[in-house]
Amino acid sequence: MAKLILLTGLVLLLNAQIGSAYVLSCYFTNWGQYRPGLGKYKPDNIDPCLCTHLIYAFAGMTNNEIATIEWNDVTLYQSFNGLKKQNGELKTLLAIGGWNFGTAPFTAMVATPETRQTFINSVIKFLRQYDFDGLDFDWEYPGSRGSTPQDKGLFTVLVKEMLEAFEQEAKQVNRPRLMVTAAVAAGLSNIESGYQIPELGQYLDYFHVMTYDFHGSWEGYTGENSPLFRGPADTGSNIYFNIDYAMNYWKTNGAPAEKLIVGFPTYGHTFILSNPSNTAIGAPTSGAGPAGPYTRQAGFWAYYEICTFLNNGATQVWDAPQDVPYAYKGNEWLGYDNIKSFNIKADWVKKNNFAGAMVWSLDLDDFTGTFCNQGKYPLITTLKNALGLQSASCTPSSNPSSGSGGSPSSGSGGSPSSGSGGSPSSGSGGSPSSGSGGSPSSGSGGSPSSGSGGSPSSGSGGSGFCVNKAGGLYPDPTDHNKFYHCVNGRTFVQNCQSGLVFDTSCSCCNWA
């Protein structure tokens, strides 16, 4: 009997440990440092006790080798990975790619065994040199946006070879194996054309599914950014644009639930209503809502900017079928997430036995606690508590508060991205966007979402510029402040932020 009680106790203990062992992966963006005032975000703003895994976005690639993008990445790496001194359980990963990075460098790199080996060797050296615990692939997307159909299979080969090399290296240096994860699409067509799911399920440690950007101002009608379920207005392919469908598609097609991580956005998408008296989901819109004062990008607000909108008298509506809120005021309409929707989604993650939650991104939550009156990091803290994550060995930093001033550091001659074409401002084209890695729209595949240069003008510009052109960003030959975003042959005309010009060397907006 005593043995039975002891055994039962061990089972309960084991279950308790398993039950609370969720992953909370949080992305840090290396362009948050360029936001003005209270929006400025650097590694010393991060609370090291908040997330189980921190992911640094983004690294790039030069000659098939991993490379820094921002002028001060190496300095930021040091601060970022230094957070592990305060939390002994914290893991850090480096993400490579993102929406603005495009597909061409990945396609070139995976093409031959030699180029893949060059890349893998460079990654191991780079991660160990700068004290990262793993690599997060943000290839958006294999088999789409100019990537060849063969890349679907070659991505699997790359991940398999990467894992094997990581395992071998770990034995040689007698250190824990480096992790290999990927930020992957949530839109059905991008999943089908991009991933051999069962095979990747054997090799990846985690799939960070980008379950957001399902709807936005590029569509011409209102819609939720990250709905949990299908809504009554969803018809046609829109029935696939929700978390429930996307996550279950990955699971039923061969990705283990214990490796699937659900994406949570700390931002919303905004619209201009064509008729301010029609505020329903699916109501016609004429374009993107105005840029926020800190993120400075049309159609996109950080949660702390959303709180200002709500506090200034916007009407808030709970979208019960989709378990997310929306809000409107005058002709402005907003689809977003709040504490209530994060709690509901976190319960859904647990009920469905997924591995945990991924947040895009740290710098878009109310990290100073200034705007929402809900404490610091209200959304991410909600997730941490809902998933039962408490770290016994963690000492929070004394003050993860905001820095001031948003101009690029003059330490490098004032250029925010000398030699890198990184983003000189939050969303002015250089930033890889809201989606985890700038996913254009994990759902619709039509949106160049929040950061790949600002949001597209409503509808597909009438110029026909993109007919028969590969997807991607192209300069406007007559106006250096403008560029074209080509998506499936459709033309979106976009503007760089005032004072910036489109730079073809990085396909981003940069200082002239």
Q: Would you call 169 a catalytic residue per the annotation?
A: no
In angstroms, the CA 189 to CA 180 distance is: 24
In angstroms, the CA 120 to CA 123 distance is: 5
In angstroms, the CA 333 to CA 232 distance is: 19
In angstroms, the CA 67 to CA 315 distance is: 46
Phi, psi of 81 (to 5 degrees): -75, -15
Query: Would the CA dihedral through 305, 311, 315, 318 be positive or negative?
Result: positive
End-to-end CA distance of the chain: 78
In angstroms, the CA 298 to CA 454 distance is: 6
Q: Give DSSP secondary structure letters for 454-477.
A: SPPPSS--TT-TTTT--SEEEE-S
Non-local (6+) Cβ contacts of 336 within 8 A are 225, 267, 268, 269, 301, 303, 306, 324, 325, 326, 327
**Are 487 and 446 contacting, i.e. CB atoms less than 8 angstroms apart?**
yes
Of 195, 198, 201, 194, the closest CA to residue 180 belongs to 201
Catalytic residue among 70, 140, 219, 305: 140
According to DSSP, the residues that pair with 124 across neighbouring strands are none
DSSP state of 80: H
Q: Count other Cβ atoms within 10 Å, centred on residue 316.
A: 14
Phi, psi of 138 (to 5 degrees): -120, 65
Tokens of 433: 């966007």
In angstroms, the CA 320 to CA 325 distance is: 8
Tokens of 402: 């905001």
Residues designated as active site: 140
